[in-house]
Amino acid sequence: MRDYAEHVCLRDLALSTQQGYYRQIRLVEERHGKDPKLLGQKRIQSYIVHLREERGWSASSVRQAVACLRGFYGDMLGKDWDLWRHARSRERRKLPMVLEIEQVAKVLGSVALLRHRVPLRLIYCCGLRLDECVRLTIDDIEPGAVIVRDGKGGKERRVPLPEPVYRQLQRYWKQHRNPKWLFPTPGRGRRENARERMGRSTEPMGKGALQKAFHDAVAASGIRKKATIHTLRHSYATHLLILGVNIRQLQLYLGHEDIETTAIYLHLIPFGEEKSMKHIEAIARMTR
Whether this prediction's pTM lies above 0.85 is answered by: no
* Sign of torsion over alpha carbons 70, 76, 82, 85: positive
Domain CATH number, residue 211 = 1.10.443.10
- 227 found inside a domain: yes
Both 11 and 82 in one domain: the answer is yes
pLDDT score recorded for residue 155: 81
Name the active-site residue from 43, 70, 106, 152: 152
Report residue 161 CA to chain centroid gap: 19
Both 148 and 231 in one domain: the answer is yes
Q: How many domains does the chain have?
A: 2
Q: List CB contacts of 197: < 8 A, sequence separation 6 or more.
A: 186, 187
Both 8 and 139 in one domain: the answer is no
Burial of 11 (0-12, 13-18, 19+ CB in 10 A): exposed
Residue 256 annotated among the catalytic residues of the structure: yes
pLDDT score recorded for residue 15: 76
pLDDT tens-place string over residues 39-84: 999 999 988 888 888 888 888 788 888 888 988 898 888 888 888 8
pLDDT score recorded for residue 58: 80
Both 73 and 108 in one domain: the answer is no
Name the active-site residue from 79, 117, 135, 233: 233
pLDDT score recorded for residue 230: 95
Residue finishing a domain among 86, 117, 133: 86
Both 82 and 105 in one domain: the answer is no
Both 207 and 132 in one domain: the answer is yes
- 163 found inside a domain: yes
pLDDT score recorded for residue 178: 96
- Sheet with 145-148, edge to edge strand ranges: 141-142, 145-148, 157-160
Instruction: Judge contact between 41 and 79, C-beta under 8 A.
Output: yes
- 95 found inside a domain: no
Name the active-site residue from 129, 135, 176, 239: 129
- 71 found inside a domain: yes
Residue 116 annotated among the catalytic residues of the structure: no
pLDDT score recorded for residue 53: 85
Both 124 and 240 in one domain: the answer is yes
Instruction: Judge contact between 125 and 101, C-beta under 8 A.
Output: no
> Can you list the residues of the chain whose pLDDT is less than 50?
none
Both 67 and 162 in one domain: the answer is no
pLDDT score recorded for residue 183: 97
Which structural domain, as residue segments, surrounds residue 118? 101-268
